[in-house]
Each structure stands twice: as structure tokens, then as C-alpha cells.
Structure 1
């Protein structure tokens, strides 16, 4: 009965330690353990694993690793969870070279690796530029008959890079049937290395074999088709997303809508918006911002301003992204005075708003005005782009205003010291 009571008390102590660790109150968590030992409670492997995970997450792997000595002094052996926490911490702090050493310790202590241990080790070898070692880890997984997770294949495919398609074929030949997630990863790998045709081919093959893809996969393919000028095929895939019963929320819709607007396909964008609203999907302020940006890209500033007015009339909050797009469109079209007028009337501005006007003034060779605006941005507590500072200083120097350029540079440095 006393043993059961002690076990329940240790479990309660572990709950307290876990709660404090989650709240980053590590000193208090340590205090709970000390107090528990003081009244006769013995920490177990769960207690120490909780501490190790917290130290590795919030402090560093060295502190986390030091807990192992306390475990051994208390007669408690580390387990797979102990080492997986340390390995995850090493990966988090980019100390990948420590991972092989931790695995060596696991082998010496006869701790059996699980799939997550193997995945982390394999990923470390690839990131360290040792693909052959990473591939040997994968072979060890197969030889030891460890249950393979889809993440295993994804790590291996990303490590193999340009050989992604060949790996997919090897996978099928070895009797491992890839799922939709694996195939999508292979496809994205091909796109990353600009092997567009190969990526499209993989997608088409898997689709013909009945693989079920989500809306994200179709959006990925459609985006690349639009960027490579294959508009008809892109429309086909985007149309399929709408008509095939995918659960399309406003975030997914805005993603597709943005693809059309960025590529200047405004007619298709309006048609898509009509179809979506007819189906009961309500547009939000981001939908309108995307449309305004698309209109500005093609130079239709009149319609863009009308759309801004509609946003106000329909009760949407002022959208800074939309106004920034409109100001940028005005500057590019040479309507700098109007852009400046709108800028001055805005209650809310961000660093993008300032940067847009600064660059507009620079292009109009109004360098003094640009420098004053840049300084007001910094004094307002906003960060500026290094390129904005450079073009303003260079602009002043190009006009022979070298002394003034130095003064502006000093003022910028002083303003940064006062406000950052």
C-alpha cells in the first residue's frame, strides 16, 4: 500500500514539474524535486526526462545532458525518450555534430533506436553533407525491420536532391509503396531543382494511379504552371480544386486567388471570385487586398481605388496591405504627388509604407525629401531597409551634396541609437 502511495505521489510531483517546465519556470521545477526528495519521494525516469526536454528546449543541450549524471547517481537509467530529447535539442541549436556521439552512447547502453531516432540521425548526416552515411542509416532501418514513417522517406528524398525521381523508382522496386505525401515531396524536390517537367510528370502519373491529393498539392502544381506560362493547364487544375468537392476555406481560396492576380489573370480571378461567392464562400479583407494588388500590377489604378472605396463601404477595416499596394502602384505610374498625399492622410503606416514613398522620391530625384522621410521613419521607432538608406545617401552624393549626405548618415545613426 505504501508503494502505491509513493508511486501516486511521484506521479503528482511529475505533473507539477511538467507544468512548471512548460511555463519556463525551471528553477521552481527543480525546487519541487528537491522538496519531494526531502519528504521521501523518489524522482523517476519521467521526472528527469521532463527536465531534460525543458532544458534542451529553453536553455541548451549541455545543461540538458548534465541531467544524465544525476539520473545515474540516483540509480535511474536513461531511456530512448531521454536521448531523443537530447538529439532534438542538438538539432534545434544546429549542433548536428553532437548527434552521432549521442547515438554511439545509445548503442553502448543497448538502448534500441525507434524510427524518430533514425530519422533524426539520417537528417543530421544529410545536413552535415554526408549523404552516404545518411543512406546507410536508411538501409539499417530496413535491415532491422523498423516500422518506416512517411517522414523517413521525405527526409531521404530531400537529402537525395536531384536524384529524387530515381529514389522514387528504387522505393517502388524494393517493395515500399510510396503514399501521396512521399510523392508530393518528390514532386516539390523536382520543382526546387527546376526540373519542372519531371515534377509535372510525377504528379500526372500518381494522379492517374488513383492517388488522392489535397488542395495544397494542386495549388503547388498550378502555381508552377502559371509561372511557366502554361495558363490553360493551370486553369484546369485550379478549376478541378473548385469543382471536385475539396473542402476549400477562405485561406485556401485566397491562395488560389492570389495565384491568378499575381500572374495578371484578372478575368480568371473575377470568375473564380464569382464562383466562390455563388457557392457561399464569403470573401474577407485579404481577398480584397489581393485583388487591389493585382489591379495595381496591371496598372488599373482607377479600379483599384474603387475597390478600396468598396472595402470601406462594406464595413471592412482599413487594410494597410491594400493601401501599401495602391501607393506602390501610384509611385510606379509616376503619380508621386498623389501617393504622397494619401501617405500623409493615413493614420496607420508601417515600414513598407515609408519605404515605398522613399523609393518613389528617390526615383524622382527628390533626395532631400527622401532623407527627411527616412529620418522620420526611424524617429517613429520603425526599422528601415539598408537598401533605402544606401540609395538616399548615394542620391545625395550623386548631386554633389557630400556634406549633407554625411550629416544625414550621422542623424540616421543617432536616431537608431535613441529608438532601437
Structure 2
């Protein structure tokens, strides 16, 4: 039996793509293996969103080309966002790689591998992204057996000035509600206890399906009725579409865990305008007040970007002030990455890497204290958890995830 070693880089949406390819390969007679040197096929699903992700992908390719150098009979396939972005350059730089596929065509992984025996066939496959998976495609889950991701949409039709996702993944494409229900039932039958719905913008679900099409709350209602999975988690929510209907539905249905991942990106009105985010600080504060009123137990996670072109020290102080006031449960701070092809690439007022690093460090230290205080407030409380397994620190403790 042939074997395959997979590496999935980047976001949970990418992981679902990897699981789809793995399912197709298993159907074609491959068996997953955990060691690269024992595999007949080496498969890397890359991220190409920002430069640091590209560098990670390059390092992984280099590692696996070394393995292939020792075992030339192995096949090496590189797929995903980085190939969609840099495919022709990668094909020139890495002659050792047998197959490159962008974000359109991963569903053809088996036939593309079979074509490698035909010397006239191209080893680089790029096309505009249009594919949308459905429940008929096989998936080989790689997450722990008790939890899984389900991709609800593909692509994104927001046009944030710093983001390449629409060019790499295409415009928003929503799956049909009935098909998502079928997949959720299958995952429930396989023992999944926590199902995370993932999309670049989960709140945009159904916008592309026309007037009267079901939206996110209708989808959640159907999923709750269709299967007995105890916990559903939502990733990611766009700030302007987190409305009272969604919050009230979550409050009335505790199987939707009160965890809101809402990437705010900044709070300065001028920075947000440059990012092409259609809201300002006042709207953010109104949203957070609404969440705490309707869903007071909610844990709110967000990300902020520092060093966006034109960001001033006053903007950073405003962000720090906001963080101190709001005391959000989980905050990630990232430095702006100036990516060619984005609308922000040519903006004036680019910040230096030193400025980005210093601002990020300053805000991370602030959030560290906020998070510590929040954790200390949990001491003595009893929480329902989903047990993950033995602790990574000691076999005398179990680790679990709260709601």
C-alpha cells in the first residue's frame, strides 16, 4: 500500500482542504503515515497570506526536498495559497517538486498525481478559484476525534486593503444549508463533540445565494435540530454583521458556545478607513456593549494590527486605551505585512519593522496583564470542559477546553 505524509500550514480552512485531499488519497489506496521518510508521497498545503507564512512554506519545502534527495523515488506535491500566489516562481526555484497545484484543483489531487507518469503533462496547475466542496467529497479528519472543523463558505467578498484572500481564494461562495446539515450529521455519527464552523467571514454566509436565502442564524437553527453535537463554535465574525438576532439566538441556545472571535483590526477611525473597514471606534464600542448586554458570559477574542501605513503614536495610544477600557478575554497583536497586490501596498507612511515590533511588544505586554487578571478571576470557579487528553506538562493532569 502506498503511503502519504501531509503538512498543513496556515488556518483551519486550509486544514479542511488538507483533510479533503487526504480523503481522496485514502480512497485511491494511500495510507497516512507520520514520518516523511516512510512515505511514498509528501504533500504540503501552504499558506500565502503574508510574507511570514510564505517563509514558513519555503522552509517546509526545503525540508521535504532534503528527504526526497535521500529517496528520489518519492513524489513531492506542494499545493494551496502560496502556489496560487507564486506558482511560476516556485516551479523554477524547486525543480525537485513533482507537482504544484493552486487553490483551484486540490480536488483533483489524485488525477494530477496519475498524470505525472505522462512526461508531457504540466507539473504546475493554476486557475481562478471556483471550487466549493460539498458533503459528497470524502474527508479524512486529522483533528482529535472529538472535534472537527466544517467549512461553511469559501473565498471572501470583503475588500480589506491589506488582504490577499479574495485574489487567492476568490469571492464569497456559500455552501447550501441542506448540504451542511448532511455533513454535520456525518461528523456527529463519527463522535464529534465540538464542531467549529469556519469561514473567512462567517457572518456573510448566504449573501451570495440571493434574496431570501438562509443566513447564519437559519443555518445554526438547522444544525441544532439536525444533530446532537453538544458544542458549536463560530469562526470568524465580521464586526458590522454581528447583530442582535445572532446574539439573542446564542443566548437562547447554549449549545452555541458563547465565544465570539471578531477581528477588529484597529480602533482608530483613520486607520480603519485606510484598511477599508466600514466602521469606527464608536461602532465597535456599541457592538461590545450590545454583546455584554445580550450575552454577558461571552468570551470575546479579537486581533489588532499595528504598523499599518499612516498609523501614528496617537493611534497606538488610542488602541492601548481601548484595550485597557474593554479588557477583552483574548487579543492577538500582529504587525502589518506590506504585501504586493494589496491596495495598501503603495500607501504612503509605511512604518519601519522596528516601529511595528516595538508597538506590538508594548500592546502585548499590556494584554498580558489583562489576561492574567482575567485568569485569576476564574480561580475557584467550576466550568464545564471538553477533555482534550493528558496534560503536555504532566501525566497527573488532564487538559480541557472551556466553552
Q: Which has the higher strand share?
A: 2
Query: Could you state the TM-score of these two structures normalised by the residue count of structure 2?
Result: 0.33
Larger radius of gyration: 1
The one of the two structures with greater contact order (alpha-carbon pairs below 8 A, sep at least 6) is: 2
- Give the TM-score normalised by the residue count of structure 1: 0.32
More helix by share: 1
